Amino acid sequence: MIIAGIIAEYNPFHSGHRYHIEQTRLKSGADAVVCVMSASFVQRGQPSCFDKFARAEAALKNGADMVLELPAVYSLQGAEFFARGAVNILKACGIITHISFGTEAPVTPGQTDPEALRAALDRGLPYSAALMRGEKPNALLGLEYMRAAEKSGWNVSFLQIPRAGAGHDSTEDAEHLSAACIRQRLSHGLPAPGLAMPAQDFLEPEQMFVPLLCRLRTMSAARLAAISQVSEGLEYKFYEAARSAHSLDELILSCKSKRYTYSRLARIACCAFLDITQAMTDRANAAVPYIRVLGVKKQRRAELLSLLCSGASVPVCTCAADFLRTAPPEAAAAFRAECAATDLRAALERKNAGTDFTCGLLLV
């Protein structure tokens, strides 16, 4: 049985994502497509523009057979560990035969020169900038997926789908608008052709600023130093910036330097907001604690859940309450942290807490 995995954020889900799923099924002959999707916070260092249940539903309505959750402890890391977390979740499923990713150009695992990478890092370039060396964002992530699989000893097949439509983060009109262009249009109240989900409940990143500022102003520099990815005195920059910043952008720019990209600092800010410590990310990077199923196609529920539960090497969560009653302590602690991330994002929309328990397993 061929089961293709896709690593995505769907922030938001649009026609280009539908095309990717269609091409994945066509080119691999997949019997099923399983997506692992960033949940309440995304890799650019922001709360997701729509909640995870709405985005998972859109994926299921547009070709995916199952959607798994990529917790914030993974989605709020740089390319290397974002990829490692997602790949390790797919590997832990025990049923994935292929990983499919979109790319601007074909990539191979040995494409980057390790010595050149080390030299760029020595010059003070951030890891992502040093690694890219002219690569495009999707190609970069594809390379990281390949490296992550190789490091874990997983001999999975990779399927590269040429990106169609607008480039990553492009705001130009195209057959498939980029997610960045769609977010920009929604932010300005404009129509967003290609958006494959309802436009209501769009969340602006700036809505996190005041709650984040409140969090940062209650944290000491020592507490900030324990937050994920904080190093080399960044805690002092955040501590001082939180005392005078008047916007989210101003806060991040106050901490920025050549060594630290805007995205990395935005991810650190989100980790501070969620109280994700370096110890938490170290544990998550060492081993996947559980697999959370957000949704599955109704007609394939019994088949796919049976395959997953019998093939998985870690506990599988399909019902939050049941999972917390039976999960090992470390998996339960990690799951509670992710539920807190869901609740904090919901607070930004002035919505009720507890949706991880009230929404249940999506069946589409």
Is 104 in a helix, a strand, or coil?
Answer: coil
Note the pLDDT of residue 258: 83
The residue ranges of DSSP E strands in 39-175, in sequence order, are 41-42, 46-47, 66-70, 98-103, 157-162
Q: Please check whether residue 6 is in contact with residue 34, taking contact to mean a CB–CB distance below 8 angstroms.
A: yes
Q: What is the mean pLDDT of residues 298-304?
A: 97
Residue 252 has pLDDT above 80, yes or no: yes
Residue 49 has pLDDT above 80, yes or no: yes
Measuring CA to CA, which residue among 60, 155, 138, 147 is closest to residue 101? 138
Q: What is the mean pLDDT of residues 209-236?
A: 97
Q: What is the mean pLDDT of the chain?
A: 92
Residue 117 has pLDDT above 70, yes or no: no
Q: What is the mean pLDDT of residues 267-288?
A: 98
Note the pLDDT of residue 324: 97
Q: How many CB atoms lie within 10 A of CB 53?
A: 18
For 76, residues 6+ apart whose C-beta sits below 8 A from its C-beta are 41, 43, 45, 228, 267, 270, 271, 274, 276
Q: Confidence band (pLDDT; 50, 70, 90) for 107?
A: confident
Flag the least confident range among 44-48, 68-72, 167-171.
167-171
Residue 342 has pLDDT above 90, yes or no: yes
Q: Confidence band (pLDDT; 50, 70, 90) for 105?
A: confident
Note the pLDDT of residue 134: 47
Q: Please check whether residue 36 is in contact with residue 7, taking contact to mean a CB–CB distance below 8 angstroms.
A: yes
| Residue range 118-159, pLDDT digits in tens | 555 454 445 555 555 445 677 888 999 999 999 999 999 999
Note the pLDDT of residue 43: 96
Residue 170 has pLDDT above 90, yes or no: no
Residue 304 has pLDDT above 80, yes or no: yes
Q: What is the mean pLDDT of residues 306-319?
A: 98
Q: What is the mean pLDDT of residues 309-313?
A: 98
Note the pLDDT of residue 36: 98
Residue 113 has pLDDT above 70, yes or no: no
Residue 23 has pLDDT above 70, yes or no: yes
- Model pTM score: 0.93
* Separation between Cα atoms, residue 44 and residue 269, nearest integer Å: 11
Note the pLDDT of residue 308: 98
Hey, what amino acid is at 122?
Answer: D
Note the pLDDT of residue 66: 98
Hey, what amino acid is at 29?
Answer: G
